């Protein structure tokens, strides 16, 4: 970590070439050496570059200067992120000026790592990924290895970044690096849990179950009941995929016994997963009752994750052939401020409804749009399901060329899913 990397970032944000940035300050070759860290610029040069990039002089001049007041704020920020609190946004707004153009390279890195955690915690995954690419990706383990707390957080968020980018094996490698670095129970529990999530995505259910059980035990030892319940939820999901519904249900009931009557996002997830188990066991009326409890609870806690539960509810209603209720729920969902992916999921449910009521032109148009989105965004699981559905539809209507076209997409998505599991490269 050196001042040159900060200078390079500022130049790129301004859209300048090295020649344009260095003009009238130092030679382009000299400037290139500054960005690469091969040369430390003089104070005069830093003053001129600060003016060119329109940043405070201290931002370039005091890159090694430690600010104890700022450090206290960073520690408070980290503490708030570890709690169930709504005060985080007020805290960051109040201290926004202090968190802008942090002179110390080390303290700025600390803030950017915490900001990523903040965005993920708020469910702003897309913004978190953009933030990582812009502010954190230039860091490396060696840059910050002397600062153990920062290094642990860096490894943790890098694992999340890879997970959200569907690079599950790299995500696991970051979690393993955390385990090599620290032996604190909470740190180990987080690493075990994240490894379980990644292994689940790789269909390695046995190892995923092993790691989530390890995480669960660590959280129980720490009396962190919310995190322990997250583990019960994940374990239940794994057992569902293994078609062990009785074991899945046991995990959910353990979660309920730990949380008691607590009204929280975690208890809502327990209801959601219980409804899914009942749905898989074809207990549709019980599933509908449970998912309604889940939605009611999520509304109480102002959950940002309502769409997934409404999607399950609509799936249940499909099996009950209550198309009027399906249409009502779809209309209700349209009133939400949905993200693009959620809107596409809604359209996907609509297309299947139109298929069920034999409104085939609407079905075709909406399903084709969903498939286009799934293909573009590499949503292979959904693409496989949707392409197969449309392919069978065209085959039944003797439109064999179109059926073959969508069957090819179904095969492509299956191949990509297998490549993810094997850790292979895609084209």
Residue with tokens 């939400």: 336
In this predicted structure, the answer to whether residue 426 has a pLDDT above a threshold of 50 is no
Length of the chain (residues): 427
Query: How do residues 40-78 score in pLDDT, each as one tens digit?
Result: 889 999 999 999 999 999 999 998 899 999 999 999 999
Sign of CA dihedral 380, 386, 387, 388: positive
What 3-state DSSP class applies to 136? helix
- Tell me what pLDDT residue 45 has: 92
Spatial CB neighbours of 117, under 8 Å, sequence gap ≥ 6 = 81, 153, 156, 157
Does position 203 have pLDDT exceeding 50, yes or no? yes
Contact 42, 11 (CB under 8 A): no
pTM for this predicted structure: 0.84
> What whole-number distance in Å separates Cα of residue 51 and Cα of residue 68?
27
> Looking at the predicted structure, is the pLDDT value of residue 427 above 50?
no
Burial of 427 (0-12, 13-18, 19+ CB in 10 A): exposed
Residue 46: Cβ within 10 Å count: 22
pLDDT above 70 as % of the chain:
98
Query: DSSP per residue over 183-208, as a string?
Result: --HHHHHHHHHHHHHHHHHTT-HHHH
What does the mean pLDDT of the chain come to? Answer: 91
* pLDDT level of residue 424 (50, 70, 90 thresholds): very low
Q: How far is CA 366 from CA 254, 265, 353, 356, 369, in A?
A: 41, 32, 11, 14, 5
Residue 150 vs residues 46, 132, 175, 188, 426: alpha-carbon distances, Å = 27, 15, 15, 16, 33
> In which element (H, E) is residue 281 found?
none
For residue 204, pLDDT beyond 80:
yes
Judge whether residue 37 has pLDDT over 90: no
Q: Cα(386)–Cα(133) distance, rounded to whole angstroms?
A: 31
DSSP string for 315-348: HHHHHTT-HHHHHHHHHHHTTS---HHHHHHHHH
Residue 156 reports pLDDT greater than 90: yes
CB 384 within 8 Å of CB 414: yes
């Amino acid at each position: 970590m050196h001042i040159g990397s900060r200078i390079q970032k500022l130049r790129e944000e301004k859209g300048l070439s090295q020649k344009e940035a260095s003009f009238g300050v130092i030679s382009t070759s000299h400037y290139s050496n500054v960005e690469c860290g091969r040369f430390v610029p003089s104070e005069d040069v830093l003053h001129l570059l600060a003016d060119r990039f329109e940043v405070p002089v201290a931002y370039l001049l005091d890159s090694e200067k430690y600010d104890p007041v700022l450090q206290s704020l960073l520690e408070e920020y980290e503490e708030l992120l570890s709690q169930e609190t709504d005060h985080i946004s007020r805290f960051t707004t109040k201290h926004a000026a202090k968190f802008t153009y942090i002179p110390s390279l080390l303290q700025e890195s600390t803030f950017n790592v915490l900001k990523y955690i903040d965005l993920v915690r708020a469910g702003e995954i897309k913004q978190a990924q953009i933030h990582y690419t812009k502010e954190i990706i230039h860091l490396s383990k060696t840059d910050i290895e002397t600062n153990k707390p920062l290094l642990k957080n860096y490894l943790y968020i890098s694992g999340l970044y890879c997970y959200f980018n569907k690079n599950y094996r790299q995500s696991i490698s970051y979690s393993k690096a955390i385990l090599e670095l620290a032996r604190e129970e909470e740190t180990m529990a987080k690493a075990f849990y994240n490894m379980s999530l990644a292994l689940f995505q790789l269909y390695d259910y046995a190892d995923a179950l092993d790691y989530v059980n390890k995480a669960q035990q660590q959280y129980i030892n720490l009396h962190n009941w919310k995190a322990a319940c997250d583990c019960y939820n994940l374990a239940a999901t794994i057992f569902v995929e293994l078609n062990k519904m009785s074991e899945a249900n046991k995990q959910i009931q353990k979660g309920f016994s730990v949380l008691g009557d607590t009204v929280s996002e975690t208890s809502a997830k327990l209801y959601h997963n219980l409804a899914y188990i009942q749905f898989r066991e074809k207990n549709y009326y019980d599933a509908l009752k449970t998912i309604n409890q889940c939605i009611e609870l999520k509304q109480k806690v102002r959950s940002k994750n309502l769409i997934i539960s409404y999607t399950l509810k609509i799936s249940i209603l499909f099996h009950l052939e209550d198309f009027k209720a399906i249409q009502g729920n779809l209309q209700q969902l349209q009133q939400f401020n949905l993200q693009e992916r959620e809107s596409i999921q809604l359209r996907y449910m609509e297309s299947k409804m139109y298929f069920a009521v034999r409104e085939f032109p609407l079905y075709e148009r909406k399903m084709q749009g969903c498939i286009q989105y799934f293909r573009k965004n590499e949503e292979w699981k959904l693409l496989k399901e949707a392409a197969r559905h449309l392919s069978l539809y065209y085959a039944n209507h003797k439109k064999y060329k179109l059926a073959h076209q969508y069957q090819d997409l179904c095969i492509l998505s299956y191949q990509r899913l297998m490549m993810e599991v094997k850790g292979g490269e895609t084209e």
